[in-house]
């Protein structure tokens, strides 16, 4: 079995720390795409929105469309229907007021949005429109995306033989086009179709090939979908322990805020496997990986801030227990309390922890202060996971 990609594989990109408002549209688009690929949708949305505005003001509608296409994918993953509709209105205005024709990639993206909303006939219509435009322009890359979309629509409507036909058509293109990520997602779809046809061993063979390819495609979304599909295949084969292993790994990795539909699929599969989803918990902390998930914020990245992690773990183990300043200094810093040194240090550390985990820093719901010290609200629901 291939080694699982580490979390650092997906977070090692050195992204530009400059204020987005001080960047030009090309830089904003580039870094927006990078943030999107690693699943940081908030940062991606800020940059892509700014880039789109700048491109529109310059009447550079080709680049404007590139921004809107990625924004639409973000909104689809988040199931942000209002944002999808608002963006579609912008596209309509572009066509009506500027006389600009939508390209193949935009129709493909609209098709993806439609399938996420279970509008499968409309999705297929968009994908076929995308293919027609790509063929008319002899754009082979756009042809690949359109064919991939058609395969998705066929898969979701149960036309598995037709889906496989489209996937196999793509193999010819992939021999000459370096579309690594699309090739991988098409392979995962191929495995999913084989699973639906009951060809489980073949499906697993495809999935393990995809697993090896993840070193080239560092995309958390793709990684989670692959884990989910492997787990689903083992479930279909009646190998429930293996199924739980991979589906639970997908659960611990997926960001439920940004990848809502995938998170729902995973929770449904866990329910089928007799495992209660973790949606009922306010805070979920994996002791082995130091990964925290907050109900509204999703994954919380501590970026190796070990003092904050130690403080968090202390509170999570003993909700409601009040820790005096003396106790905190002894347990966290292993020092004797000195108010001249430690009062400000405790205040700043508690504030930083709140900024990371509180959905609303002005109305904290987790960490409270009493006259005797600090404590974690015992009324919240906490889950400590010990899986590695």
Residues 318-327: pLDDT tens digits?
Answer: 999 999 999 9
pLDDT value of residue 206: 97
Q: Please answer whether residues 162 and 178 qualify as being in contact, where contact means their C-beta atoms are separated by less than 8 angstroms.
A: no
Indicate the average pLDDT of the chain.
89
Check whether 221 has a pLDDT greater than 60.
yes
Q: How many CA atoms lie within 13 A of 146 on its CB side?
A: 23
Check whether 15 has a pLDDT greater than 80.
no
Q: How far apart, in whole angstroms, are the C-alpha atoms of residue 357 and residue 317?
A: 16
Give the residue-averaged pLDDT of 296-312.
86
Query: What is the largest distance, in Å, between two alpha-carbon atoms of the chain?
Result: 76
Taking Cα atoms as reference points, which of 88, 93, 94 lies closest to residue 107?
88
Q: Produce one character per residue of 20-36: b if its CB has 16 or more CB atoms within 10 Å, e if not.
A: beebebeebbbbbbbbb
C-alpha distances (whole Å) from 98 to each of 94, 261, 318 are: 5, 34, 61
- What are the sequence ranges of the domains in the chain? 1-102, 178-280, 306-385
Q: What architecture is domain 306-385?
A: Orthogonal Bundle (1.10)
**What does the pLDDT look like over 365-378, one tens digit per residue?**
999 999 899 999 99
Q: How far apart, in whole angstroms, are the C-alpha atoms of residue 186 and residue 83?
A: 27
Split at pLDDT 50, 70, 90, the class of 29 is: very high
pTM of the model: 0.70
Q: How far apart, in whole angstroms, are the C-alpha atoms of residue 340 and residue 104?
A: 65
Bridge-based pairing state of the strands 382-385 and 283-286:
parallel
Split at pLDDT 50, 70, 90, the class of 172 is: very high
Collapsed DSSP state (helix, strand, coil) of residue 376: strand
CA–centroid distance for 388 within its chain: 21
Q: Please answer whether residues 306 and 362 qualify as being in contact, where contact means their C-beta atoms are separated by less than 8 angstroms.
A: no
For residue 333, the 8-state DSSP code is I
Check whether 39 has a pLDDT greater than 70.
yes
Give the residue-averaged pLDDT of 265-271.
92
pLDDT value of residue 190: 97
**What does the pLDDT look like over 59-113, one tens digit per residue?**
999 999 999 999 999 999 999 999 999 999 999 999 998 888 999 999 999 999 9
Q: How far apart, in whole angstroms, are the C-alpha atoms of residue 69 and residue 107?
A: 9
Taking Cα atoms as reference points, which of 210, 130, 199, 117 lies closest to residue 156?
117
Of the CATH numbers 3.40.50.2300, 1.25.40.10, 2.102.10.10, 1.10.10.10, which one belongs to the domain with range 178-280? 1.25.40.10
- Calculate the dihedral angle through the C-alpha atoms of 8, 14, 15, 17, rounding to the nearest 10 degrees: 120
pLDDT value of residue 12: 40
Collapsed DSSP state (helix, strand, coil) of residue 277: coil
Q: How many CA atoms lie within 13 A of 136 on its CB side?
A: 8
pLDDT value of residue 51: 95
Query: Please, where are the H alpha helices in 38-79?
Result: 41-57, 61-78
Collapsed DSSP state (helix, strand, coil) of residue 66: helix
Q: Please answer whether residues 252 and 285 qualify as being in contact, where contact means their C-beta atoms are separated by less than 8 angstroms.
A: no
Split at pLDDT 50, 70, 90, the class of 342 is: very high
Backbone torsions φ then ψ of 31, nearest 5 degrees? -75, -30
3-state helix, strand, coil in the chain (%, to 5): 65, 5, 30
What region, left, alpha or beta, does residue 248 occupy, with left being phi > 0 and alpha being psi -120 to 50 degrees?
alpha
């Amino acid at each position: 079995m291939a080694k699982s990609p580490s979390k650092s594989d997906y977070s090692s990109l050195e992204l530009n720390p400059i204020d987005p408002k001080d960047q030009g549209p090309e830089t904003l688009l580039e870094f927006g795409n990078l943030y999107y690929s690693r699943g940081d949708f908030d940062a991606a949305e800020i940059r892509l929105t700014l880039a789109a505005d700048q491109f529109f003001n310059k009447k550079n509608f080709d680049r404007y469309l590139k921004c809107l296409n990625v924004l639409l994918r973000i909104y689809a993953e988040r199931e942000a229907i209002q944002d999808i509709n608002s963006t579609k209105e912008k596209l309509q205005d572009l066509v009506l007021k500027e006389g600009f024709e939508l390209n193949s990639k935009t129709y493909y993206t609209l098709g993806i949005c439609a399938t996420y909303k279970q509008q499968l006939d409309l999705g297929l219509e968009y994908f076929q429109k995308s293919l027609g435009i790509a063929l008319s322009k002899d754009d082979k890359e756009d042809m690949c995306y359109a064919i991939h979309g058609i395969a998705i629509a066929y898969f979701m409507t149960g036309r598995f033989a037709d889906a496989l036909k489209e996937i196999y058509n793509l193999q010819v293109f992939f021999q000459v086009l370096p579309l690594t990520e699309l090739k991988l997602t098409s392979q995962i779809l191929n495995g999913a179709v084989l699973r639906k046809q009951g060809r489980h061993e073949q499906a697993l063979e495809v999935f393990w090939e995809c697993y090896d390819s993840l070193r080239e495609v560092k995309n958390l979304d793709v990684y989670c979908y692959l884990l989910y599909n492997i787990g689903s295949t083992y479930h279909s084969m009646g190998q429930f322990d293996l199924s739980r292993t991979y589906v639970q790994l997908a659960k611990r990795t997926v960001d439920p805020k940004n990848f809502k539909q995938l998170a729902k699929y995973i929770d449904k599969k866990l329910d089928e496997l007799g495992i209660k989803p973790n949606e009922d918990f306010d805070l979920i902390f994996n002791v082995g990986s130091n990964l925290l998930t907050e109900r509204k914020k999703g994954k919380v990245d501590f970026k190796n801030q070990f003092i904050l992690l130690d403080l968090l773990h202390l509170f999570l183990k003993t909700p409601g227990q009040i820790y005096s300043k003396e106790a905190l200094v002894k347990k966290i810093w292993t020092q004797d309390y000195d108010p001249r040194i430690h009062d400000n240090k405790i205040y700043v550390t508690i504030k930083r922890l709140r900024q990371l985990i509180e959905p609303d820093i002005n109305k904290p719901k987790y960490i409270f202060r009493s006259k005797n010290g600090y404590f974690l609200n015992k009324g919240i629901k906490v889950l400590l996971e010990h899986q590695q």
